[in-house]
């Protein structure tokens, strides 16, 4: 049997941590002296303590650690760990995107963006639309676009796009429409024909991953204000080059178009 201090040195878990794990029924001592209250551990508990240590280094919640340790099914344990690793990878992606945006924002002499004023005629497209919460847009977009691709097939005649209502950005929930251009839009499932109205657009192109697009939005908005214009409708995006076309995010191109009118 090992004292709590000896067990601490062998497992690199502090005495305080071991006491907390005991109180939380995560790692209980093999024996607790009824008189002194001293905790004693068995050498067979060392691997369990090391597993806990590694899981906690990965920020696995204590409740999940407990479930992993108590599950007799290796498949369940593997699934719990894989789920947490996916969350870590998603968090890492968000961190990388935030760092990239900050580097761009903090450049001492940022290059001016190129903006084109473009008169877009009305056109009819195959679309899927819904009112969506801001945090659910990515998942909804993936499902809607997959449905569009199946419905339109080889009849697509241009890059995909979307329109995003102002309330999505202002209130966190709003109308979203994604589309594929085609001569004869089908009607099946959620897919239907929709008309994009004619509009005067201030257009620029965002380069790279979509996560950093808010910086380009800000630069385009600045240009609009500096040129005595105002936004007059849902923002439009056209996905000129995306993950469906090339795997390298540096090659992705997203066109942003704000319907505008001149303030007199």
Q: What is the mean pLDDT of residues 104-112?
A: 68
Give the whole-angstrom CA distance, residue 77 versus residue 91.
21
Confidence label for 63 from pLDDT (cuts 50, 70 and 90):
confident
Give the whole-angstrom CA distance, residue 63 versus residue 191.
43
CATH number among 2.30.110.10, 3.40.50.920, 1.10.287.4070, 1.10.1660.10, domain 2-70: 1.10.1660.10
User: Are 49 and 17 in contact, with CB atoms under 8 Å apart?
Assistant: no
Which is nearest to 238 in space by CA: 213, 257, 217? 257
Q: For residue 254, give both structure tokens.
A: 């997203």
Query: Residue 237's beta-bridge partner residues?
Result: 162, 256
Instruction: Convert the pLDDT of each residue in 116-164 to its tens digit.
Output: 999 999 999 999 999 999 889 989 999 999 999 999 999 999 999 999 9
Q: For residue 247, give both structure tokens.
A: 């795997």
Q: What is the mean pLDDT of residues 5-14?
A: 89
Kindly list the domain boundaries of the chain, sorted by start residue: 2-70, 115-261
Which is nearest to 201 in space by CA: 249, 258, 160, 159? 258
Give the whole-angstrom CA distance, residue 131 versus residue 225.
28
115-261 topology per CATH: Multidrug-efflux Transporter 1 Regulator Bmrr; Chain A (3.20.80)
Confidence label for 109 from pLDDT (cuts 50, 70 and 90):
low
Q: For residue 37, give both structure tokens.
A: 């209250």
Q: Residue 54 above 80 pLDDT? A: yes
Stretch (H or E) spanning 147? helix 137-152
Which is nearest to 218 in space by CA: 166, 256, 253, 251? 256
Question: Which SS3 state, helix, strand or coil, does residue 150 take?
Answer: helix
Q: Residue 203 above 80 pLDDT? A: yes
């Amino acid at each position: 049997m090992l004292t709590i201090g000896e067990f601490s040195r062998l497992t690199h878990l502090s005495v305080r941590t071991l006491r907390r794990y005991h109180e939380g029924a995560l790692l209980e001592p093999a024996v607790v002296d009824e008189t002194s209250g001293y905790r004693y551990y068995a050498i067979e508990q060392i691997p369990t303590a090391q597993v806990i240590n590694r899981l906690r280094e990965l920020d696995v919640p204590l409740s999940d650690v407990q479930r992993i340790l108590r599950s007799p099914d290796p498949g369940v344990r593997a699934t719990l760990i894989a789920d947490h690793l996916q969350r870590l990878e998603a968090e890492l992606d968000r961190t990388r995107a935030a760092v990239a945006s900050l580097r761009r924002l903090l450049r001492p002499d940022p290059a001016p963006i190129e903006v084109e004023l473009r008169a877009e005629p009305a056109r009819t497209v195959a679309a899927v639309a819904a009112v969506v919460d801001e945090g659910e847009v990515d998942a909804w977009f993936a499902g809607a676009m997959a449905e569009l691709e199946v419905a339109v097939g080889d009849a697509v005649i241009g890059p995909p796009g979307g329109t995003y209502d102002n309330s999505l950005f202002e209130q966190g929930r709003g109308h979203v429409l994604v589309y594929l251009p085609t001569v004869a839009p089908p009607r099946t499932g959620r897919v239907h024909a929709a008309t994009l109205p004619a509009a005067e657009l201030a257009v620029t192109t965002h380069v790279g991953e979509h996560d950093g697009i808010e910086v380009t939005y800000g630069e385009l908005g600045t240009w609009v204000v500096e040129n005595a214009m105002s936004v007059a409708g849902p923002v439009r995006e056209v996905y000129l080059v995306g993950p469906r076309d090339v795997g390298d995010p540096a090659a992705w191109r997203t066109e942003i178009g704000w319907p505008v009118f001149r303030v007199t």
